Structure formats: C-alpha cells, structure tokens
Chains A and B, each alone.
Chain A
Amino acid sequence: MADVRCPMCGKPNAEEAETCLYCQARLKPVGPGAEPLGAAEPSAAGGDTVPDWLSRLRDQGSPTPGGTRELSGEAEAPSDQEASDWLSRIRTRADDESPAPSGSTSPAEDVFGRGKPAEPSGPVPAFASSAEEKPPASAATTPAEPASEEDEPEWLKRLRARRAVEGTPGAAPGPSFPAPQATGEGLPPDWMHAPHEDLATGPTAAPGPQLAGGEGIVPSWLSDVQPPAPAPIEPVPPSAPAAPAAFASEDDELRGAYSEKEIPDWLVSAREEAAAPVDVAGLAGVPAAPIETPPLEELLAPGVLPEWLTAGSSPTPPPIEVPGEGLEQAVLPPWLRAMRPVEGPLAPKGEPGEAEERVESAGPLAGLRGVLPPKFEAEVGRHPPVLPSLLDIQPAHAAHAELLQRIVSTPESRAVPRARRRPQARPWGGLAVLVILVAAMMVPGATGTSVFARPSVIAVETLQTANLINSLPRDRPLLLAVDYDAAASAELEAAALAVLDHVMTVGAPIASVSTRPVGAALAERLMTRTRAAHPQYQSGINYLPLGYLPAGPIGLRAFAANPWQAIFGQSAPEGWDAGMVAALHASSNFSAILVVVSDPAALQSWIEQVHTAVPSVPLVAIVSAAAEPLTRPYYESAFPSVQGMVVGLAGAEAYECLNALDPASGRCGRLGVADSMWDSFGMAVLAAVLILLVGGLASVIRRGVISMRRTSHE
C-alpha cells in the first residue's frame, strides 16, 4: 500500500487517510474530484484511471499502417509516464519563464489548480491546444471548409455580427510562432477546458477538439465564437510597463533613482531576454502536423464521456418545478411544528459572502481565503444552544416545566418528624395551688381561731437540748453559730428564738459568730428580737457579737484553736468585758456550742473542725426539717457529736411549750413565735395533703376511665 506523506509534518500516512494521523493536517485537498497530495502523481500515471474514451482516442491516435490518422513527427506515441514527465517539465518551465497575463485564467486552469495554462513543449496532442490559443496563421494544415452560413444557428449569427461591429479579431490570423504539436496523449482534450455550459449546448454548439495547427478542422464560425486568444508574448518595451500599477510605480521610482547608465549589465541582459519572443515551437522541438479529430458526436456519444463529467454537465437540465404545482403540499402536525426549532444550532450565522471574504490567519490554512465557513471557531467545541428556549412553548408546558424546575431546585428536605407538641404550661394549676396554700395560711390569722392541737409528744433530742440549756454556767459564754440562709430564717428563727429565750432565761452569756456573710446580721436580728424580752443582755457585756468568720472550714479550725485571734487578732472592741474577752482565747471556754444551720454540710464542718478540737464542749443543733435526715446520724451515733437537736417548726413549738409549761395544768403557757405560726403551718400542710390526695384520686380515676374505654373499645 502506498503511503502518503503529510505536507505539514512529512510523516507517512495511509493512502486512504484524509487527515494526517500525527498532526491532523488535511491530506486531501478540499474540492470535488481532488486527489491526495501525495498520491496525485501515481494515480495520474496509472493506466487504470484512464477512461475508456481516452483509450479509444489513444487507439485512434496510434500509428496504424493503413490508417488515415497519424501523429505528426512521432512514429510511436509516448507512454503515459513519458507524457506526464514532459508535461510536468513544460509546466515548470512555462511557470518560470512566461508569466501569464492578468485576467487570462481559463476554466481549465481552475480545475487543475494551476496559475497558468500549460504550453506543450513536446509532442502535444492535437486537442491539447485550447480554444484560447489562437491558431497560427502559418499553420501547415489547411483550415476546414466552414459550413454554409445558412447552417449556422441564429444566435451564432448574431454573435458574429456583433463581433464584426466591435472589431474583434475572431477570425484574424494568430501570432506568427508555430503552433505546438499535439501528441494526443498526456493531456486532457481541449474541449475539456471549456466550460460545461458549452458541452451542455450539444454537439452543434460546442466546439470540437481542435488540433494544434489544424486550422482547417475548426470551422470559421467556431473560431469566431472562441474567446480571444491571449496576446502573443512580445518584448516589453521599457516605456510601456506591463506590470501592475504598484509595480509600475516602483519601476518609475527605480528609473528615477538610477539613470540608464547606472543600470547593471545583468539587468540589461535580463531585459533583452525578457523582450525576446518565446519560441514555443522551438521548445517543443516537434513540427506541427495536421491531426484529424474525431467528430464531436462521436466524442459525446453515450459511454464515451466519463460519468463524472456527464453527471455535472447534463445536456438537459431538469425543469424547475414550481412548488405546489401538481403536488399536494405536506402539512406538519401541530405537535411536530411545535418541536421544530426556530433557529437550529447548525444554521449559518454569518453574513452572506462572509465565507468568501474570510482569510485564514493561523494554522495550516493561513493565507487561504474562504476555506472555512464563517464563525467556525466559535462553533467548534461549543455545545449547541439550548433548544427549549427557542421552541414554541405552550403555556401549559411552560407551567409544567416551571413546576419541574421548582421541584428539582428545591433542596432535599428530609421528612422531619413532627415535633411532639409540648404540653402547654398550665399556669392555672400552679396558681390554684398557690391560692389554696395562701388561703389556708391566712384563714387562722383572719378568723382568729386555733383549731390545731399542739404537739402532744416532745422529742427526746428536744428535751436533751432543754436540759443542756438549763445546765449552762453563767460565767462562760455560749457560742451561737448562725449558719443558715435568709430563706430558712422563718423556720429556724422560731426554733432559735425559743432556745435563745431559754438561754437568756437561764442567764448564760452569748457570743455569736457566723461563717456566712449574712450570718452576722441574722444573729443580730435574733438577739434584737430576744433582747426585747431580756433587756439585761447588753452588747459587749453578756453578748459578744464576733461577726463573720471567713475561710469556711479553715476558719473554723483556726477558730477552734484560738477564737479571739481568728476574729479580732490583737485588740478588742471598746467597751467589751475583759472577762468575756479572756474567755474567747480558747474554744474550750465556751459552755456550749449552739449551731443553727439549714445545710447539713455546715453542721458537718462545725462537728469536724470545732467539736473535735473541743469535744468536751457540748454541741446542740437547731436544724430545719429538710436537714434532719442528714444531721440525725450525728445525734444517734454511739458516740454522738450532737448532744441535742431542735428540728423545724414542730421542734420550736415543742420547745416553746417546754419554756412555758404550766406544771399544774401541764399545758403550754406563753405563746411564742412558733406558736403564732402553728395554725397557719397546720392549715398549709393540710392543704398540701389534700391537694396530693385529690391529685392521687384524680389520677386513679383517670386511669380507670382510660382502662374502661379501652375495654369498651376492645
């Protein structure tokens, strides 16, 4: 298989390849009937590609002993390869030596892609002489007898008359140089150079093949029809430049710049050579000989012309059919018409004539004009336009498309389970409870009734506390530790007041201290309320407010080591009793430690930090009812840390009863703070019990109702 070399990269490619495998350059030129660049010569030299009509012509042109036809000057016709060789030489030399006059390009030149008509330099076949070439006047062949003027068609007569009026040298004798001799092979016949329209007009209209020098064969009327032959090449005089205007202007400038004397010799000789007439016959070297051409009817007979030539030149063009004449026009259905794009992606978008005006500026096609369609670069590699926007969309379809787009564009949302509806807060329930409790607490005070019985049984720890207080000495102070919050003051103050009242009744001095910032104020409040009934207690004499003890357990431990130094350091407040101050230098001097706490941790600190330092000093705890479970273990242990307890409002009420117990009647005598709160406390607790009871019953009823409904449903 013959390889085709790429004209761009020079690498071999397969023969049938249209583009280079390596650089994608086009191997076959664009155009009808084009051959690959690399394979043009082999195909032209091959005998298989010679059509039948050409073979017959060869046979007719071959030397036969008895034949009427004979090739001039040649005993044997050259082979195809030889014809191709000499023809290429002629073309090359003609291209080099004789530039064609401007505007004389024939259709044959376009077909073969050459810039100049080939001028045979060897044995040229008779038909190779084109109609453009004017037959030489001194041709050896006698011109054929022209047909009578009556046989000429009417249009030819008119054309001849017009030529005669214009003075066209249609039948004038040609140049004096001898006509090239035709060899009959290697060149396409002359009539092929004519436009197809000439062939389409039929045998009478088309001029037959004209042999070189055979002027007698071509009728005179046909010679008139032929286009004017190019002017004979003559030496160009210096004063009449044949170059274009641009070159002429340059020539004038050069002429003005250099005088005749300054022109070099080589340029003068070149001028003389250019001015000398070209001896084409001499180049051919073969004298012209008359050649008889076959009749045109024979050449145009069916089967003689190749198919590619007859296909493009139909002698009878098909009649132009008028749309709608005799045919029923097709009707597109509406749905198909709606889908038809208004403007397709491949529709030409360039202006008319833009393709012809376009000159490639880059790539292998640089410098060529009109080889690519307009806007080619813009369309390559680009997606076709979105057709739906160009369609005739119905409103219903648009609505559906919008719905689909909205569905697609909506972000994915998982099915979020509906949040369980939180039960709305029922402020009415809390408000009802509050109202009930407040009302219950206000009823005894508003009515002035006392329906609740006093405690009939006094706790053991309360009795132990009262016994301890009764045994307090009067020369040593009792340490009062106020370590409760203000929130618990209502409950604890009642018990503390009852115990302090007992202490003041006994007459024991008191020293107060607190590990809480508000403890000092609460202690002062207690002492203020208690001193109302015991005015003998004066601050600094039998009552020593020590104030705040910082640092929590560390302060307690330091206080247990040396109370005075832990609180005051060196100096004592003015007006304090010296004996009392001296008693404060050791914790063991306290007669008892009375701790009022609402937090079990505070009692624990006092037990661990102070009572362990002075275990001989008894410790009594006044605690709230809520702190009782965590403080009772210190009291109920085998070696109790707490020697007495007063718990809550019930303990306070019991202690008040002990303080004001009438020995005769055995009933509580004087009423205290705890007793004033007892009925309200009782009513509130009873209301709370009732609320709980009603709620419990309601829940039980509700559950029963629900179970009954389920049973009835089942």
Chain B
Amino acid sequence: MRIKASVIVAILTGAIMLLGYFLPGAFFASVRDVMLRSGMIIGTVALLLGVGNLLQVHLRKIREQRPGHLYSIFMVISLFSVFAVVVLFGPAHPYSVWVVSEIQRPLEIGLMGLLAVVLLLAGVRLLFRRQALGTLVFFLTAFLVLLGTAPLPFISLPFLEGLRNWIVQVPTVAGARGILLGVALGATATGLRVLLGFDQPYER
C-alpha cells in the first residue's frame, strides 16, 4: 500500500498533539505550542483568503450584472468602509464600536425579534393544521415554559417557575446530554479515523 506524505504528516501531528495532553514534558509542550501558533497563523491567512474570495465573487457578480448585483454593491461598499475604519482606528476605537453598535447590532436584533414573531405564528398554525399528540405536547411545553419564564402581573407563582425549571433542567437536559454524548463519540471516532489515516479530509 502506498502511503502518501500528507497522511504521514497528519498522523504524526495528531499523535503529538494527543500525546501532549496525556504526557507531561517540555518536549511535547513546545512542539504543541509551535504547531498551535502555526495553526493560528494559517487560520488567520485562511480568513483573509475567505474575505478575498467573497470580494472576488461579488465583484464578478457586479461586473456581469447578475440578478441581485445591487446587494453585492452594498456588500463591497460596507466591506471596504469597515475595513478602512478598523485598520485606521483600531478595533476598539469608538468609531469601530459605533459601526457595530449602531448598524450591525440593531439589524441582527431586528432579525431575532422577527424570528420570535414567526415562531409564535408557526406554533399557532400548527395547532390548526396538525392536531396530534406531538402538537399537544409542543403546545403544552411552550405554554408552561413561557408562563414560568415570564413574570405575572401582580402575582408570583413559584409553582410555575418550579415547573418551568423542571421542564428545562430534567427532560430537556436529558435530551441535551444525549446529544452531547453523541457529538463527543462522533468526534472521537472521527479523530481516530483521521489519526489512523482512514479519513483524509486534507486531501479534498
């Protein structure tokens, strides 16, 4: 079987990083630190490459007058403007903070509020269209959690808060732990396959 050099590099790198977690010693720590810093640099350059690719795609879209090229124009203008502000003044300058606080934050918060409205409407429509046991469970859960989360006017019902906490911390956490365990096992299996050379995502 012919083994590629990239596979050997990947396996050695993974093994050194993994041993650095379990074995004490300056050698593994120093090698790990070098690799991590190199990885950070590569990741930073990859981010710049991604920004460059995004800019190229939208510039081509503008040049070829494709549908939606006006949005691309706005994107390019925003990119260069924010880039200039951050480069000139720094990321912690009030100008840079103002751009994020007064433009990006309201936009994203508005979308989040719209998501709340849409979810509420979808819940109501679900009651009309599909009247099944799952729908009833969904309705009751949402109703109790909201009622337990929201303060009631003039009164306080600790029973509702306790019920809400039980719903969130027992059945929901049980499901979340199952999901986390599945994710951890999947990540472990994937890491082992990469370390053993069965998967070669770097070859794609």
Using CB atoms and an 8 Å cutoff, list the residues of chain A in contact with chain B.
429-430, 433-434, 437, 451-457, 459, 485-490, 518, 520-522, 524-525, 528, 539, 545, 547-548, 550-552, 554-555, 557-558, 561-562, 565-566, 604, 625, 628-630, 632-633, 636, 648, 650, 678, 681-682, 685-686, 688-689, 691-693, 695-696, 698-699, 702-703
Shortest CB distance B194–A (Å): 15
- In the complex, which of the residues B97, B175, B179 has the most CB atoms of chain A within 10 Å of its own CB atom? B97
List chain B residues, Cβ under 8 A from A434. Answer: 117
Q: In the bound complex, do residue A554 and residue B180 qualify as a contact, i.e. CB atoms below 8 Å apart? A: no
Most buried by A among B118, B153, B177: B153
Q: Is B156 in the interface zone, CB < 8 Å from A? A: yes
Q: Which B residues are CB-close (under 8 A) to A459?
A: 165
CB-based contact A554/B36 at 8 Å: yes
**Contact between A437 and B127, CB atoms less than 8 A apart:** no
- Taken together as a complex, chains A and B put the C-alpha atoms of A545 and B172 apart, in Å, by 37
Are A521 and B100 closer than 8 Å at their CB atoms? yes
A531–chain B nearest beta-carbon distance, Å: 13
* In contact, A696 and B127 (Cβ under 8 angstroms): yes
Stretch at the interface among B1-9, B56-64, B65-73, B140-148: B140-148
Q: Does B149 contact A (CB under 8 A)?
A: yes
Which 5 A-B residue pairings sit nearest by Cβ, starting from the closest? A685-B150, A551-B43, A695-B124, A487-B108, A521-B100
Find chain A residues with CB under 8 A from B47 CB.
550
B26 at the binding interface (Cβ < 8 Å): no
CA distance A633 to B169 in the complex (A): 9
CA–CA, A625 to B172, complex, Å?
12
Please determine whether A521 and B96 come into contact, CB atoms closer than 8 angstroms: yes
- In this assembly, does B192 line the interface, its C-beta being within 8 Å of a C-beta of chain A? no
B185 to chain A minimum Cβ distance, whole angstroms, is 14
Closest residue to A491 on the B side, CB-wise?
A: B112
Using CB atoms and an 8 Å cutoff, list the residues of chain B in contact with chain A: 29, 32-33, 36-37, 39-40, 42-44, 47, 91-92, 94, 96-97, 99-101, 104-105, 107-109, 111-112, 116-118, 120-121, 123-125, 127-128, 131, 139, 142-143, 146-147, 149-156, 158, 161, 165, 168-169, 172-173, 175-177, 179-180
Shortest A707–chain B CB gap in Å is 11
**When chains A and B are docked, how far (Å) is the Cα of A557 from the Cα of B20?**
12
Instruction: Identify which of B29, B42, B116, B151 gathers the most chain A CB atoms within 10 Å of its CB.
Output: B151
Q: Is the interface of A mostly helix, strand, loop or mixed?
A: helix
Of A539, A678, A682, most buried by chain B (CB within 10 Å of CB) is A682
Cross-chain contact B150 with A686 (CB below 8 angstroms): yes
A-B contact pairs, 21 of them (CB 8 A): A452-B151, A453-B156, A487-B112, A520-B91, A521-B97, A528-B97, A552-B43, A554-B39, A554-B43, A558-B36, A558-B39, A558-B40, A561-B29, A561-B33, A629-B175, A682-B150, A686-B150, A688-B120, A689-B143, A692-B123, A696-B127
Do B92 and A545 have beta carbons less than 8 Å apart? yes
CB distance from A625 to the nearest CB of B (A): 7
Quick check: B143 and A693 within 8 Å, CB to CB?
Answer: yes
Q: Which residues of A contact B165 (CB under 8 A)?
A: 459
Are A486 and B105 interface neighbours, CB within 8 A? yes
Residues of A within 8 A of B36 (CB): 554, 557-558, 561
Inter-chain CA distance A153–B32, complex, in Å, is 150
Contacting pair A525 B101 (CB below 8 A): yes
Q: How far is the CB of A666 from chain B (nearest CB, A)?
A: 14
Would B149 and A685 count as touching, CB distance under 8 A? yes
The CA of A453 and the CA of B99, in the complex, are separated in Å by 36
- Chain A nearest Cβ from B119, distance in angstroms: 9
B118: A residues at CB distance < 8 A:
430
Residues of B within 8 Å of A693, CB to CB, are 143
Q: A457-B158, A636-B169 are in contact. Are A689 and B176 (CB under 8 A)?
A: no
> In the complex, A153 Cα to B103 Cα: how many Å?
138
